[in-house]
Structure 1
Amino acid sequence: MISFVKEDNTIQYLYSKIGKHHIDAGTGNQDSVYIGKICDETYCLVVSDGVSSCKWAKTGSEATIDTIRTLSTKIYHNEISIDDGDGIKRFIVRDWKNHFDESWNDYGTTINFVIWSRGIVLAGQIGDGLLIGVTDGENFLMTDMDENYSVETYALAEVVLKSSIQLTVRKNVNNLIAIAMTDGIGKEMNMESIYEFQDYFVDLIKNRDEETRNKEVELWMSQLNQKNDDDKTIALMVLEGKT
């Protein structure tokens, strides 16, 4: 799946492809991704990776999209304070759990997201994957991965430690770049040059023609497929001059 939208000083790009592991298992792509405008002056980006060992992982990852869209709306209407980190964490966990009657461990998923609403940016992460971006020239980075990468990770499930939910808040943001990716891509990134990658990827998506853009991304993903057989999802959101 590839999608590209450029309008109203915004760019929305996403790429998602099933990995060999899930092709062989016949389970489908367990990643879910969303980028879009939620309401006036409010956008969000969500990338989730259903935990492969969970019975209904895809359903779990899909539910995060609805949760973050709802959170975006509540932030816009001042129903949840951007400064109430604990309240935001409780809302994410409770709202996601409310999508299912019980057996939350069957729906385990990681999540990376960014919300922009009237100049406020909220970025969040539970579990692995990689989230990078720039707000008015100031970089941010969120990752639960390191050189000692493990198949074990935090996730939305029956028990979610408050300390496992990372949040970053930026205010009075006029320009935003955010890139989120699941661990099928993120764990292969060179963290020492991550912001050079960020600049290159934004230029590729923003300024190159469709054929060049698609050919280069497909080549990159083919190379990553030689390194791991995970699903691979990446999303980019660019907002310019929004306040």
Structure 2
Amino acid sequence: MMIFYDEDKLIQFAYSERGKHHIDLGQENQDSVYVGKVINGTYCVVVADGVSSCKWAKKGSEAAVDTVKNLAMKMSLGEIAVNDKNSIRRFVVTDWKSHFESKWNDYGTTLNFVIICNQDLVIGQIGDGLVLITVDDENILVSDMDEFYSVETYALAEAVLKSSFNIICKKIKGNVVAVAMTDGIGKELDLDTIDEFKNYLVELIKGNTETREKEIASWMKHLREKNDDDKSLGILVLEGWN
């Protein structure tokens, strides 16, 4: 699945595919992705990866996307301060849980998101995955590095450790490039050259449709040879904010 369009100086792109493991088992793609405008001046990129061992993983990842969109709306209305990390953490956990009556561990999901609210940027991560940001001239990489290749995955579930919910808040002066991906993609990337990769990816998305689709198809084929996970990616580029 690919979505791409320009709106003024806004570029949005999303890609998600079911991994071979889930195809073989007759299971659905357990990732969920959203890229786009929530309300004027407020945008978000959300990538959630339902934990395969959880009974209702897809519902959990879908709820996580909905929760981040709700959070972005609250921020735009001034009901949650964009720099109040503890309020952001509390809202995400409680709002996500409100989607289900109980047994939250049945819906476990990792979560990576970026919210742009006017001149503020909020990055959040629970569990594995990868978030790449360029804000003005600063490059930011967010990854659960200690657990990057571990069999243990922190997740949005019944209990969420404060220390496992990473939040970064920044002010925006100019342009923003935000890329979020699940570990089905992120774990195969060379982190030493990640900024070059991000720049290549954005230029690819800006290019013509035929070239873009061929390059992505070739890239995904290569990734499938390395792992059989679901693979999801979201990109949001805002230009000309100077």
Instruction: Identify if the C-alpha distance between structure 1 residues 64 and 224 changes in structure 2 by more than 3 Å, giving closer, same or farther.
Output: same
- 1:27 Cα offset (Å): 1.2
The C-alpha deviation readout for 1:60-96, integer Å capped at 9, x for no partner, is 0000111011100111111011221111101000000
Matches within 5 A, 1:22-41: 22-41=22-41
In 1: Cα distance, 2:9 partner to 2:83 partner: 28
The C-alpha deviation readout for 1:103-161, integer Å capped at 9, x for no partner, is 00000000100000111000110000000010011111100145960221100001100
Match of residue 212 from structure 1: 211
Match of residue 8 from structure 1: 8
Matches within 5 A, 1:91-240: 91-145=91-145, 149-206=149-206, 208-240=207-239
Size of the alignment, in residue pairs? 242
Q: Any runs of at least 4 consecutive aligned residues in structure 1 with deviations exceeding 3 A, and if so which? A: 145-148
In 2: Cα distance, 1:68 partner to 1:77 partner: 14
Instruction: Identify if the C-alpha distance between structure 1 residues 173 and 48 changes in structure 2 by more than 3 Å, giving closer, same or farther.
Output: farther
In 2: Cα distance, 1:111 partner to 1:76 partner: 21
Tell me if structure 1 keeps the 8 A contact 2:128–2:148: no
Tell me if structure 2 keeps the 8 A contact 1:145–1:187: no
In 2: Cα distance, 1:30 partner to 1:80 partner: 29
SS at 1:169 equivalent:
strand
In 2: Cα distance, 1:148 partner to 1:82 partner: 28
Tell me if structure 2 keeps the 8 A contact 1:119–1:242: no
Aligned AA for 2:149? Answer: Y
**Identical amino acids, percent of aligned pairs:** 57
Which 5+ residue runs of structure 1 have no aligned equivalent? none
Instruction: Identify if the C-alpha distance between structure 1 residues 137 and 148 changes in structure 2 by more than 3 Å, giving closer, same or farther.
Output: closer
The C-alpha deviation readout for 1:153-176, integer Å capped at 9, x for no partner, is 100001100110011111133311
TM-score (norm 1): 0.97
| Pair 1:68 & 2:38 matched | no
Q: What RMSD, in angstroms, separates the aligned Cα atoms of the two structures?
A: 1.2
In 1: Cα distance, 2:191 partner to 2:124 partner: 19
Which 5+ residue runs of structure 2 have no aligned equivalent? none
Tell me if structure 1 keeps the 8 A contact 2:46–2:113: yes
In 2: Cα distance, 1:153 partner to 1:173 partner: 35
